Amino acid sequence: MPTHINDADGAFDAEALYRDLLAQVRAGLAGVPDAAIVGIHSGGAWLAERLAADLGLQSRLGFIDVSFYRDDYARKGLHPDVKPTRIEFNVDGANIVLVDDVLYTGRTVRAAINVLFDFGRPQRIMLAALADRGGRELPVAADFVGAHAQLQPGRSLALSRAEGGQLSLTIEDDNA
């Protein structure tokens, strides 16, 4: 069962949330053929790398940058840190776990699904997120989630990764 987080909680253990997420994904992929993991840059890619290693799916690991697929691209312009999309397995018929760090409006996930369909037609796409902070603008829901978060307006969740791979999830002011 996912953890519940709110602004008053302060700090929380991203590694524990990852372990919960891993257990859910492992159970969800039990007996699923042609499984693959695809992470959305950058936080989702970090999580996808760890999930693929822990699940023995390194050869079925891909990464997506949604910069050119965002519906707000014309308004926001190009993100200064565009990463390459890399999917080196056959997407057709695959059961893909799409991984994002924080699920919010659903627009990033929508863009990532568009990218996946440029590579082929998956059998199924399941969504994994370390945290779901609500506030959906599109009908998108995670199949696997480490925590549900309730944040005050003007605050967001940010995933970071230390040099050794240790994850931390913090609450930040949007204006900071």
pLDDT at 129 over 90: yes
Q: Which residues contact 165 (CB under 8 A, 6 or more apart)?
A: 46, 50
Whole-number Cα distances in Å, 164 to 9, 45, 58, 131: 26, 16, 19, 22
Grouping H, G, I as helix, E, B as strand and the rest as coil, residue 125 is strand
Residue ranges making up the domain that contains 123: 17-73+83-151
Residue 68: the pLDDT is 81
Largest CA-CA distance found in the chain, in angstroms, rounded:
45
Please name every residue paired with 100 in a beta bridge, in sequence order, or none if there are none.
129
- Rounded to whole angstroms, the Cα distance separating 163 from 159 reads 14
Residue 103 lies in a domain: yes
Q: Read off the CATH number of the domain in which 52 is found.
A: 3.40.50.2020
- Residue 32 forms part of a structural domain: yes
Backbone angles phi, psi at 23, to 5 degrees: -60, -40
For tokens 């290693």, the residue is 53
Counting the structural domains of the chain, the total is: 1
Average pLDDT, integer, range 79-97: 89
Per-residue pLDDT reduced to its tens digit, 139-168: 999 999 999 998 888 888 999 999 998 999
Task: Indicate if the pLDDT at residue 5 is higher than 70.
Answer: no
Is residue 122 included in any domain, yes or no?
yes
Q: Tell me which of 24 and 3 has the higher pLDDT.
A: 24
**2 within domain boundaries:** no
Q: What is d(CA 58, CA 36) in angstroms, rounded to the nearest whole number? A: 9
